[in-house]
A and B are shown apart, each in its own frame.
Chain A
């Protein structure tokens, strides 16, 4: 396979429409006869629905219907889990509409259909919803007391415990010369997308076909769920992926609205569109990251890590969402990160609370576990009198140890091993890149009213989730090729990346790849989607298989045409020739298509290091990041321009979670951060000095491209790096950050100037 395009910083094709305002996002779609849906959501965190009277709303001009649970005579469908669908989770899955109880502020209770969104919102105010409140659970400690139960039938607010085990941690701790125990916490935040969610559903009673626009991430899986819930065969449903304004794990999972809107379209026999507004999005899109770790580490006196042990408590919100268990599983499976830890005994508890349910957010569970371990390492290194850089050097996994097995998690029987890489190389390179030793000389004293500090954090990023992916290649009328993918776009540039891979695989100029179609269910026979940093590896590898199959099909067609053996047909770009020199052009085979698949049961592990250099103003708690470097090894780069964008974008998201973003509730489960003035996102002024270096030292042995999923590494170590830098800066005060986000108020408290 040539390498003309793979590895080149090609400008993106999709930019041509995005830059000119010609993108097509779901709210941009209009169809004849459209009605608009607005969701009535609970403003009470926990309670019994006593009554719902929509008669006044139905009298409002322009209102066509108010749909409630009563309108689902077969029962209100429940949303099943897509990942880790363990039987223990079943009682905690979410009904698409609340009917007897509400369990979080924002839970859907009814759907209003009207001539316009404004009219529908007017009608919302006319619906009399009476809820008898129950005591609300707003933190895991209260949840664990099981006083007030979210699900009476289960008798507990603890839905499950994951156990991560490796070696014999008890023995290791018994004999360990040094141990330290800490309690650390990461705050609730989420993968807010600039485009809120949306669904447009069209039902054609004559053909019996349902067409859903606004699909993202996992359209094939969502179609499967919807088909079952709505009582239609999968083949009668088309999920169409338009342009998607961001994913990060949160957009594209199956939410209540993904049933409610198609149901509404069939109910009212008109097309229905729902567009989430930002106030809804804050309380309805999957939350993430809220975890408390009560963990201890055992070490030898020379800093060799022996064991990790303890409990992590995950605040799951009110229901188990389609991928809600991933973060809780990852936080214990990957707590050891890129370090050599022979003994692990970690329990990850999932607690249900009266808050918005939790799903994955870029680097799920990994951002949390990185913060927990990296903070612990700095504290322990100081205790043992070992330089924290040297401590890491001693414990980072080397290439000689690959593949390196990690903790085994039950009850999902998750067994895994890192694939390739010498994590110390990226580590050393990062220290060099930031000028660690020079900058260290500037730390430890007050300069212009601020203390400078350096922090470092090492990560591994799991990618390329299987089990498989599908791609299809088709020859167009003009001899160009079209690519169809089962993976999806959330803005990461698939139309360009896959054109590069296809062009190199087919050995044609990239202009011959006319278009890359992604996500929609009518493009390929089966698809899995974009999550767990899998698109390039899985889709790309499937594309290579499709190329192989297409070439075989072309040879077979040529053999028939020329009456010779298929092996005698040579393919040169867009021309075919037989051994005796007869040729024909590819366009004569227009319509010929071939699918390819790639099966994968081995994750890839991209890895690297973050280093942060900060200046902290101790009087006002302000943190300025003066320099921030990520070194990440991705195995093989397809497009360095888009990859750099992914890494830096991920870092800034991570720093947002470390300093700014915080979803907050009061003791009654009332949601306090209901606007973008309350939930603070990073802006262009906040983290201007982020840079990255990408390396390709250790391709993955697990796929033909040698690539590793790389979209999440930039976020994973941001909390750990930043907090370690702040701790280093504030060492004169003995300040040890143990919780995120590190707000100015928190930093000030750490410095110790609190009034009693």
Chain B
């Protein structure tokens, strides 16, 4: 089957089996390997991407279901020159170690802060409870997300 959709601002067209997940399509057909696969059954959140502005588990979506949608991955939330304010906040707080859960954390945090730049620590923890991390124990991640709120308030992003 063919599916046409937008990824990180670029139109793409892929020829895929219906059973191919969006996660696998991004990683193998489009070579956007920043989105990681940690469980393939919708629990760990490492595969989180934005679809039409909403954070979703790309391992639970078929690539063909992305037809006509705008998909944004961690690569689309990054630039070549340096780090975005959210990424810089993660780095400052030591909010990553092995880096495997990090793309999912970044996309989820970005979606949250975009919708709710005034979120508090409880809300951050609630939202991030759908993203598993094994290295950090989450404390530094929550600190990093809270510290990044300033960049999302007003005209930022």
Contacts and interface: CB of A to CB of B under 8 A. Distances in A.
Instruction: Verify whether A and B have any Cβ pair under 8 Å.
Output: yes
A653 B133 CA distance: 10
A196 interface: yes
B142 interface: yes
A646 B97 CA distance: 8
A280 B135 CA distance: 21
Nearest to A676: B43
6 contacts: A23-B100, A246-B97, A246-B100, A278-B40, A491-B98, A648-B136
A25 B46 CA distance: 13
A641 B139 CA distance: 13
Contacts of B132: 194, 676, 681, 683
A211 interface: no
A493 B97 contact: yes
Among B19, B132, B134: residue with most chain A CB under 10 A: B134
The 6 A-B pairs with the shortest beta carbon distances in the complex, nearest first, are: A21-B34, A491-B98, A18-B99, A245-B100, A652-B137, A21-B74
A648 B126 CA distance: 19
A238 B38 CA distance: 27
Nearest to A643: B94
Interface in B79-125: 83, 87, 90-92, 94, 96-103, 106, 121, 124-125
A675 B44 CA distance: 11
Nearest to B124: A684
Interface of B: 17, 19-20, 27-28, 31-41, 43-44, 46, 73-75, 78, 83, 87, 90-92, 94, 96-103, 106, 121, 124-126, 128-142
B98 A490 contact: yes
Given A245-B99, A684-B125, A648 B41 contact: no
Contacts of B121: 688
A19 B87 contact: yes
B59 to A, nearest CB: 10
Nearest to A683: B129
Given A15-B90, A22-B34, A278-B38, A648 B98 contact: no
Among A21, A22, A246, A686: residue with most chain B CB under 10 A: A21
Given A194-B134, A246-B100, A493-B97, 4 more contacts: A16-B83, A245-B99, A648-B139, A683-B138
A642 interface: yes
A685 interface: yes
Given A15-B90, A21-B34, A493-B97, A684 B40 contact: no
B31 to A, nearest CB: 8
B134 A192 contact: yes
Given A118-B19, A244-B98, A676-B44, A196 B38 contact: yes
A707 to B, nearest CB: 19
A193 interface: yes
Given A15-B91, A194-B133, A645-B136, A20 B97 contact: no
Contacts of A243: 98-99
B28 to A, nearest CB: 7
A21 B33 contact: yes
A23 B97 CA distance: 12
A19 B91 contact: yes
Contacts of A493: 97
Contact of A19 (B33, B83, B94): B83
Given A21-B74, A21-B103, A681-B134, A118 B139 contact: no
A750 to B, nearest CB: 27
A688 B125 CA distance: 8
A642 B139 contact: no
Among A25, A246, A278, A684: residue with most chain B CB under 10 A: A684
Contact of A652 (B33, B100, B102, B138): B138
B15 to A, nearest CB: 14
B134 A644 contact: no
A248 interface: yes
Contacts of B92: 11
Contacts of A19: 78, 83, 87, 90-91, 96, 99, 102, 106
B38 A118 contact: no
Contacts of B136: 645, 648-649, 652
B107 to A, nearest CB: 9
A193 B126 CA distance: 22
B137 A687 contact: yes
A19 B37 CA distance: 16
A14 to B, nearest CB: 7
A14 B94 contact: no
A266 interface: no
Contact of B134 (A118, A193, A244): A193
A20 B20 CA distance: 25
B34 A20 contact: yes
